[in-house]
Amino acid sequence: MAQPETLVLPPKKKRSTKKVVRNWIIAVLLLAMYVWTFSDIGINWSQIFSERTLNNMTRVVPQLFSPEWAVAPDAMRLMGETLAMAYTGTLMAALLAVPFGFFAAKNMFNSRLINTSAKWSLDAIRAFPEIMLALIFVAAIGPSPFAGVLAIAVGSIGMLGKLYSEVIESIDMQVVDSLEANGANKIQILFYGIIPQVIPEFLSYAIYRYEIDVRSSTILGLIGAGGIGMMIQISTMNRNWDEVGMALLIIIIVVTVIDYFSSYLRKRIV
Amino acid sequence: MKGTPSPQQGTFTPNNPPGLRAQQAKWKLTFVFAVVVLVYMFTSWQTNSSLINLWNGLPDVWRMVGELFPPNWGYATETWGRLSETIQMAIIATTVAGILCIPISLMASSNIAPNKWIYNITKQIMNILRTIPDLLLAVIFVGIFGIGAFSGIMALIIFSLGILAKLLAETIEAIDKNPLEAIRASGGNTLQVIVYGVMPQILPQYTSFTLYVFEINVRASLVLGFVGAGGIGQLLQRSISFFQYGRAMMIIIIIFVAVVIIEYISGKIREEIM
Amino acid sequence: MIEFKDVSLVYPNGTQGLKNINLNIKQGEFVVIVGLSGAGKSTLIRSVNRMVTPTGGELLVDNENILPYKNKKLRELRTKVGMIFQNYNLVKRSTVMKNVIAGRLGHTGTLKSVLNLYSNEDKALAYHNLQRVNISEKVHSRADELSGGQQQRVSIARVLTQQPKVILADEPVASLDPPTSHQVMTYLRKVNKEDNITTIVNLHFIDMAMEYADRIIGMRAGEVVFDGPASTVNESTFEEIYGRKIREEDMVGGEDDEGNA
């Protein structure tokens, strides 16, 4: 075998000073972040590694995996309520998001003020988790599925409005131009030129959002906003973990089925 | 027009003009529309959320909005500890999930997994994990470890693991297989194939996904306090249940600012990487 | 050195890849295998490092039957038998150096290689091999910044860094233009002569096979239909191997105009 007679090592990689400095800054920032995180966070380790934890573990975990079938009818009824909440909320959001989507689309309103303020309100809504909205609605109108529906309806506008505006911005404007050239008015253009182009995507996104909303409405009951979460809250307080196990099982099955149907429908639409 | 089964076969006369859409499509659309409306009527009745309820509820909502203002600005300083706890929880959970997801996603990718069994089982477990909402995991961990940030961190880890492993496994399944073949052909074992062939190919996506999951974790950790799993959510819930709406509004504003800043930074880094 | 004794291969779907192959390849020979695509050239080559596993017969490398090899033995065999691919198979996002040092993987412990702890000898060897194929100035470039010919040269350096006794090259120039193809073949030929590495190359360009090979093996439908020194081969031999007239696309043309670098 040919071995080099003398060891010639490859030349050292030349790195620009800018890159070296950048890498060091990143490293220092990361280190600082972790030092801050781990020195500051208050975790009571003696509570976590205690006999109580062990007792909880041996009680909670086996019960979770042996669901209480007696509460299955109740759990299914409440899961039905959850699905209904998600449906009502998503449908309301899907309609309310349409004007937002149009306002935020650059090719519909040629005004920066309208575009940005619509985009900004959509972003603002998206910053809040739905359950936080639910907390406020529960405080306003009392514990009820209605509070959950409102939370979902408001919370979903953010994402749907944003996606709608992207769909609108990507449509074929030549169709609109030619309708305009034919002397169509704004309303006619909307119904013959724009709506037919965006409907399939709008629908597909609304169905996708329904998937997300089903997931989030399962937990709204934890703070009194209806659905299967209420059962989980009560069972946890009574430490009936086998009932929680039943609720969990139903959530997993129903969410999986909904995801499956939703992706099937969306594939058919687009 | 009613008599024509389909416009292609029917003959059109001035008295029998073709519709704008194919007849079949028209029926289908009407049917879908009717179903959507009927289901809405049923669900809004079941959840007491009809338009009438909405109309009746509006005054209450407005009253609430009125009470939220003005925010209690002075309260801001007292929230700092809980806010940083929220972000710290997200940092720890993202780090742990970011490490754990590597072996798991390798096992859940069809082109790397050592055999079909491991692939299918890992993939199914991850699918199931993703169906469980974060707050529900938090409830369970609070039941085991008691109230506090640790339970929240555990919930976030499990929750983000499902998302990360799925995204990463999809990336791994799409990598260029040729270099892996070359490394295998030069006598590399599985671990060497992963480190030399797979890792360099997925690194940018991996970083980007981790940052994305960090954003998700920050949002999720904001509300974990509702069930006693640490973070600023606890303060929000407490101030609302004590009718201290000025404080609640202050917390809402702080959460909003924190989310916007973190998403901005994370988004910028992700843009830089990809 | 490499001996095929009645080797056959039937794929799980029933296709016969190889039919009763009997060959004896000597140390240091430069063998070119020709045949139409689907003739079994690739299967034959890949049997030698067990990227595919023949289902019958015996395949001896250094007088040892390699067909029953598993895990550790198999990796040892692959360390000894290097391979070059049509698509270079470099990790595009890694640097040239990292790609070349990957040739040492079979010689290096898992932990050491994972932590990137290579000896100075290994690094020097990798660099030396890059110099041999005249691409050492690209040592820190990323592989995807290189042209196809440059990438194939890097893959030759990688295979040399493995210090193999045998190099298998599976259509190494099929994705390259004529001048670059000649350049790559020249390098392969050069290391074959200098290091006395047994080299087996799959080609479908007949002019190139005649120019570079010591010995030509013709295959059709999984069988060896010709085996002889390159000097005895002419166009009619190829017509026999291919079972049809020679066409223009069977020639690469474009003589070596970059010189023997």
Structural contact between residues C178 and C207, judged by C-beta atoms closer than 8 angstroms: no
Mark yes or no for CB contact A87/B148 under 8 Å.
no
Q: Within 10 Å of residue B64's Cβ, how many Cβ atoms?
A: 17
CB contact under 8 A, C136 and A1: no
Question: Cα–Cα distance between B112 and B105 in angstroms, integer?
Answer: 9
Residues of chain C contacting A1 with CB distance shorter than 8 Å: 163, 195
C89 touches chain B (CB under 8 A): yes
Q: Report whether C212 contacts C32 (CB < 8 A).
A: yes
Locate B45 and state its tokens: 């009745």
Closest CB to C78 among B176, B185, B197: B185
Percentage with pLDDT > 70 across chain A: 98
- Taking residues A164-170, what's their average pLDDT? 91
Asked if A234 contacts A247 with a C-beta cutoff of 8 angstroms, the reply is no
| Polymer length in residues for chain B | 274
Distance CA C82, CA C158 (A): 9
Neighbouring chains of C at 3+ CB pairs under 8 Å are: A, B
Q: What percent of chain C has pLDDT over 70?
A: 97
Q: Which chains touch A (3 or more CB pairs under 8 A)?
A: B, C
| Per-residue pLDDT, C259 | 41
Chain B (197-216) residues lying within 8 Å, Cβ to Cβ, of chain C: 197, 200-201, 203
Q: Is C82 exposed, middle or buried (0-12, 13-18, 19+ CB in 10 A)?
A: buried
The C-alpha of A24 sits at a distance from chain C's nearest C-alpha, in angstroms, of: 21
- Residue B202: CB partners within 8 Å, gap ≥ 6? B168, B171, B172, B175
Report the C-alpha gap between C23 and C25 in whole angstroms: 6
Q: Which whole-number Å values give the CA distances from B80 to B74, B190, B251, in the listed order?
A: 12, 47, 10
**Predicted confidence (pLDDT) at residue B20 exceeds the cutoff of 90:** no
Domains annotated for chain A, with CATH where assigned, are: 70-269 (1.10.3720.10)
In this complex, the residue of A44, A141, A215 whose CB is nearest that of residue B61 is A141
What local confidence, expressed as pLDDT, does residue C215 receive?
93
The rounded distance, in Å, linking the Cα atoms of A146 and A89 is 9
pLDDT tens, position by position, C85-101: 999 999 988 999 999 99
pLDDT exceeds 70 at position C260: no
Please report how many Cα atoms fall inside a 13 Å half-sphere around the Cα of residue A8, on the Cβ side.
11
Residue B8 has pLDDT above 50, yes or no: no
- For C108-121, what is the mean pLDDT? 86
Q: How confident is the model at residue C255 (pLDDT cuts 50, 70, 90)?
A: low
- Range in A12-16, A67-71, B232-236 with the lowest mean pLDDT: A12-16
Distance from CA of B200 to the nearest CA of C (A): 6
CA separation (Å) from C33 to C36, C50, C117, C203, C227?
A: 10, 18, 39, 6, 9
Instruction: Give the nearest partner residue to A4 out of C128, C140, C195, using CB atoms.
Output: C128
Mean of all residue pLDDT scores within chain B: 87
* pLDDT > 90 in chain A, percent: 50
**Tally of CA atoms within 13 A in the half-sphere of A70 that contains its CB:** 3
Pairs across B and C, CB distance < 8 A: 78
Residues B212, B219: Cα–Cα separation, whole Å:
11
Q: B45-54, B246-255, C248-257: lowest mean pLDDT where?
A: C248-257
Q: What is the mean pLDDT of residues C62-85?
A: 90
- DSSP 8-state assignment for residue C145: G
Beta strand C215-220 with C30-34: parallel, antiparallel or unpaired? Answer: parallel
Q: Residue C210: count other Cβ atoms within 10 Å of its Cβ.
A: 19
Whether the CB-CB separation of C81 and C49 falls below 8 Å is answered with: yes
B182, C90: Cβ pair inside 8 Å? yes
ipTM value greater than 0.90: no
- Name the one residue in this structure whose structure tokens are 């937990």: A219
DSSP string for B214-231: HHHHHHHHHHGGGGTSSS
Residue B18 pLDDT: 62
Average pLDDT over residues B231-249: 91
- Work out the angle at residue C193's Cα, subtended by the Cα atoms of residues C188 and C199, and round it to the nearest 5 degrees: 50
Nearest to A10 among C123, C132, C194 (CB): C123
Distance from CA of C158 to the nearest CA of A (A): 14
Neighbouring chains of B at 3+ CB pairs within 8 Å? Answer: A, C
Paired with C82 in beta bridges are C167
In percent, the amount of chain B with pLDDT more than 70 equals 92
How far apart CA C105 and CA C115 sit, in angstroms, is: 12
Rounded distance, CA C210 to CA C234, Å? 8
Contact (CB, 8 A) for A163 and A244: no
Interface-testing mutation among C128, C160, C197, with chain A (most A C-beta atoms within 10 A): C128
Mean pLDDT along residues C158-175: 92
Contact between chains at C94 and B176 (C-beta distance less than 8 A)? no
- Facing residues of A136 across strands? none
Residue C39 burial (C-beta neighbours within 10 Å; 0-12, 13-18, 19+) = buried
Query: In the prediction, which pLDDT does A84 show?
Result: 94
Contact status of B146 with chain A (Cβ, < 8 Å): yes
What would the two tokens of residue C169 be? 């090259």
Considering only CA atoms, which of A209, A216, A206, A201 is closest in space to residue A251? Answer: A216
* Contact between residue A214 and residue A83 where contact means Cβ atoms under 8 Å apart: yes
Do B212 and B271 form a contact (C-beta atoms < 8 A)? no
Nearest to B181 by CA among C45, C116, A193: C45
Please count the other Cβ atoms lying within 10 Å of the Cβ belonging to residue C116: 10
Q: What is the DSSP string of B138-203?
A: HHHHHHHH-SSHHHHHHHHHHHHHHHHHHHHHHHHHTS-SHHHHHHHHTT--HHHHIIIIIHHHHH
Of A97-101, A123-127, B22-26, B135-139, the poorest mean pLDDT is in B22-26
Provide the token pair at C200: 């087996």
Token representation of residue C116: 């990137």
Instruction: Say yes or no to pLDDT of B112 above 80.
Output: yes
Mean pLDDT, residues A120-144: 89
Calculate ∠ Cα A131-B251-B257, nearest 5°. 90
Asked if A41 and B92 come within 8 Å (Cβ–Cβ), the reply is: yes
Q: Looking at residue B16, what is its pLDDT?
A: 63
Nearest CA in chain B to A255: B131
Distance separating alpha carbons of residues C9 and A111, to the nearest angstrom: 71
Helix, coil or strand: residue C219 = strand
Contacts of A14 in chain C (CB under 8 A): 140
Distance (Å) from the C-alpha of residue C175 to the closest C-alpha of chain B? 14
* B126, pLDDT greater than 90: yes
Q: From residue A59, give the alpha-carbon distance in Å to each of A46, B143, C39.
A: 20, 10, 66
Please report which helix (H) or strand (E) contains residue C212, including its range. Answer: helix C206-212
How much is the CA Rg of chain C, to the nearest whole Å? 18
pLDDT tens per residue, range A9-44 = 888 877 788 888 988 999 999 999 999 999 888 788
Task: Please state, rounded to an integer, the average pLDDT across all residues of chain A.
Answer: 88
- Rounded-to-integer distance, Cα B46 and Cα A145, Å: 9
For residue C258, the model assigns a pLDDT of 42
Contact C191, C132 (CB under 8 A): yes
C121 contact residues in A (CB cutoff 8 A): 7
Residue B261 pLDDT level (bands cut at 50, 70, 90): very high
Mean pLDDT of chain C: 89
- Which amino acid is residue A56, in one-letter code? N
Q: CA separation (Å) from B159 to A79, A97, A254, C174?
A: 21, 29, 18, 48
Q: Please check the confidence at residue A81 and state whether its pLDDT lies above 50.
A: yes
| Burial class (CB within 10 angstroms; exposed 0-12, middle 13-18, buried 19+) of A12 | exposed
Q: Is the pLDDT reported for residue B9 higher than 60? A: no
Residues A190-248: tens digit of each pLDDT: 888 888 888 888 999 999 999 999 999 999 999 988 889 999 999 998 989 999 999 99
Shortest Cα–Cα distance, C2 to chain A (Å): 18
What's the pLDDT score for residue B49? Answer: 79
Which tens digits make up the pLDDT trace of A133-147?
999 999 998 899 999
Chain center to CA of A83? 16
Q: For A13, which residue in chain C has the nearest alpha carbon?
A: C140
**Chain C positions with Cβ closer than 8 Å to A:** 97, 120-121, 123-128, 130-132, 136, 139-140, 163, 194-195
Task: Classify residue B61 as exposed, middle or buried by CB count within 10 Å of its CB (0-12, 13-18, 19+).
Answer: middle
Give the residue from chain C lying closest to A11, CA to CA: C139
Which residue is listed with tokens 């009763």? C20
CA-derived radius of gyration, chain B: 27
What is the DSSP code (8-state) at residue A71? Answer: G
A165 band by pLDDT with thresholds 50, 70 and 90: very high
C194/A2 Cβ within 8 A: yes
Read off the amino acid at residue B40. Y
Q: What number of CA atoms fall less than 13 Å from residue C155's CA on the CB side?
A: 34
SS3 string of A194-227?
A: HHHHHHHHHHHHHHHHHHHHHHHHHHHHHHCCCC
- Report d(CA C101, CA C166) in Å as an integer: 18
